[in-house]
Amino acid sequence: MKKGTQGVLVLLLLCLLGGTAQAAESAGPERIILSWTGDPKTTMTVSWQAEANGPDGWVEYSTSPSLSDAKKISATVAKLTSGIALDAAVEQAALTGLTPGTVYYYRVGNGGSKSEIRHFQTAQSEEPSFSFLYMGDVQTGTGDDGKWKSLLETAARDNPGLAFGVLGGDIVDSGISADQWKRVLGSATGVFSQIPMMTTNGNHESNFPGGKPELYLDLMALPQNGPEGFSEEFYSYDYGNCHMLVLNSWVFSGEQGLSSADYQRLNRWIADDLRASDAVWKVVVMHHPVYSLASDKVAAAVKRSWEPLFEANGVSLVLCGHQHVYSRSYPMADGQIDFTDGITYVMGNASQKFYSTADETYQAKTVYNTSTYQVVRVDGKNLTVQSYDGAGNLLDFTALLPKEGQKTFSDVPGEAWYAQAVSAAVSGGLLDETGTETFSPTASATRVMAVSALYRLAGSPAVTEMAPFSDVPSSAAYANAAAWAQQTGVSAGTKAGTFQPEKSVTRQELAVLLGRYAEKIGGEDTAKPGALSAFSDGETVSSYARSDVAWAVSNGLICGTKDGRLLPGAVLTRAQMAVILTRFAEGETGS
């Protein structure tokens, strides 16, 4: 038989058997997703889809990359109650009894068909530092699905070591579309078969009669520790020193027909859940914003009912979506900007659908017509939120201070103008106390204090090598901070190759450090010409510092004296530095 004839016969045979071949292919595991339904330190749940009424599903897993000595457990086929024809079985298996802080390798299968080997890592027993991904409004079905897949994969590639990801609702455009769910879960598999995907539902998942996100609940495997009747719509989990509370804000649409008693029961559950946690960081995830950027009756109801619960129970950060812009609020409390006790609200938009206008009254930063993702980095008592676009450009950053009891010192009077800032700066790890009960507010602030604070705000990133400063021994507590500052350009040191850690810092010198941080770490344009003319001594600002001082003044970080002077060369006290640093950390720059 001629080679060409053989090829034609093979093609004809494939065509004749096309239906059978395709059925065999679809019988294999697809859309593999990790999540937690139990403790992130000792459990992991795997979900996937396979041929309906096909062979039994299973997972095998091991700490060995080759799966030698692998354990094998059977999967459970989820009972689908939505009434939507999925044409697939939803398989789920919970791996339990895992060892904290351990990499596990696994694969899933149905009968003799199996996936490639993947891996995940359990949470540490104590997780001092970690990061997680947030994406709002994926909304598959409204644009090019490949763009979201690319955004997700870029986020994972550019931020190695992500502990988990969070999707903030409106994951699909139509919650009753099996095809849209297949597409979005297929796009998610590359990343979320390696790290858990934790989700909340939005209004687009809830377009069923009665307002329940029925197909979403069929497909997701989430913690079932919420209030009765709202399993997986409301839930919480802990990771490191973060308590994550996930809420279905669409209950305020009225479509579920809830009574006043139902809403009161939900409110009690939220308050009890938050009160029971002693985590440093309490983070809420829900679809609708509290501070709406456009008129929205559901968002208004969320604000009335839930904002007081968040404020009374130590919430620091709320992640939301719904209105298709990126936006970060000022710290807010009871409708007012409050840099001491306020909550920061971050609205994400990872979709190709954009709104062109917004009420920016309470927004410190708003980005239009851009698909974004957020990375939340936690390092002990430091938490930062950074927002990126699909090209990896840093669009926004902010640093939060933990909601803890007022830290008091014997040498800081409670009525002092700087008392709250000192408490926040020490509680948030920006500045150190000088004794068990003292802060030394009138002592001079130094370069090492300023640089160490900015290093902590950046999440204390690892440094590859020590900076060549002759006056910074590698054993110094601030050696990493000095190296980071030199390598990022935040502080290059002196021409003589010294860092001068104990040198006193003037008002204009701190403005330069903050300005360089804002530009190099936050991607902010700090050019603010003309802002110094309002001060009688504005012309005395050194030429190298004029742009940064003008930026700091225009953003309320540094203020003049009562007699209209700026005093750029005056040495800062520790109290003054505490005030400026907390303003900067809480996002008062409002760029």
Give per-residue pLDDT as tens, 456-473.
Answer: 888 788 788 888 899 999
Residue 162 confidence (pLDDT) above 60 = yes
Domain range holding 254?
Answer: 126-400
- The predicted-structure confidence for 350-408, as pLDDT tens digits, reads as follows 998 989 888 889 998 899 999 999 999 998 888 889 999 999 888 888 888 777 656 78
Q: Which two tokens stand for residue 318?
A: 């709320």
* pLDDT tier, 28 (very low <50, low <70, confident <90, very high otherwise): confident
Q: Over range 440-457, report the average pLDDT.
A: 92
40 & 164 share domain: no
Are 302 and 377 within one domain?
yes
- Domain match, 202 and 319 both: yes
Domain total in the chain: 2
Residues 175, 297, single domain; the answer is yes
Q: What is the pLDDT at residue 529?
A: 62
46-72, pLDDT tens digit by residue? 999 999 888 999 999 999 999 999 999
Q: What pLDDT is stored for residue 26 in this prediction? A: 44
- Asked if the model's pLDDT at residue 572 lies above 80, the reply is yes
| Nearest CA-CA partner of 441 in 473, 409, 399 | 409
Domain boundary residue, one of 400, 425, 458: 400
Residue 259 resides in a domain:
yes
Q: Could you tell me if 156 and 133 are in contact, meaning their C-beta atoms sit under 8 angstroms apart? A: yes
Residue 419, domain member (yes or no): no
If asked whether residues 111 and 43 sit together in one domain, one would say: yes
Residue 551 lies in a domain: no
Say if residue 294 is in the same domain as residue 174.
Answer: yes
Residue matched to tokens 């897949």? 149
**CATH number assigned to the domain comprising residue 81:** 2.60.40.10
| Assigned domain for 464 exists | no
336-358: per-residue pLDDT in tens?
988 778 999 999 999 989 898 88
| Among 400, 421, 437, residue at a domain's last position | 400
pLDDT at 405: 57
Q: Is residue 364 part of a domain?
A: yes
The verdict on 209 and 322 lying in the same domain is: yes
Question: How high is the pLDDT of residue 406?
Answer: 62
Q: Are residues 103 and 198 in the same domain?
A: no
Question: Which residues, 6 or more positions from 81, have their beta carbon under 8 angstroms from its beta carbon?
Answer: 214, 217, 218
Does the reported pTM lie above 0.85? no
The average pLDDT across 150-166 equals 95
Stretch 562-572: mean pLDDT, rounded? 91
User: Is pLDDT above 90 for 240?
Assistant: yes
Confidence at residue 288, expressed as pLDDT on a 0 to 100 scale = 96
* Same domain for 335 and 296: yes
pLDDT tier at 561, thresholds 50, 70, 90: confident
pLDDT of 381: 81
Q: What is the three-state SS of 164-209? A: EEEEECCCECCCCCHHHHHHHHHHHHHHHCCCCEEEECCHHHHCCC
For residue 97, tell me if it sits in a domain.
yes
3-class secondary structure for 511-536?
Answer: HHHHHHHHHHCCCCCCCCCCCCCCCC
pLDDT at residue 121 is higher than 80: yes
Average pLDDT, the chain: 88
pLDDT at 228 over 70: yes
190/113 same-domain check: no
- Gap between the Cα atoms of 24 and 577, Å rounded: 67
- Asked whether residue 95 is domain-assigned, the answer is yes
Question: What is the average pLDDT across 223-233?
Answer: 95
Same domain, 156 and 302: yes
Q: Are residues 114 and 167 in the same domain?
A: no
Q: Considering 385, 400, 415, which residue would you say is the last residue of a domain?
A: 400
Q: Residue 239 belongs to a domain with what CATH number?
A: 3.60.21.10
Please determine, for residue 5, whether its predicted confidence score (pLDDT) is greater than 50: no
11 — pLDDT class (breaks 50, 70, 90): very low
| pLDDT value of position 4 | 42
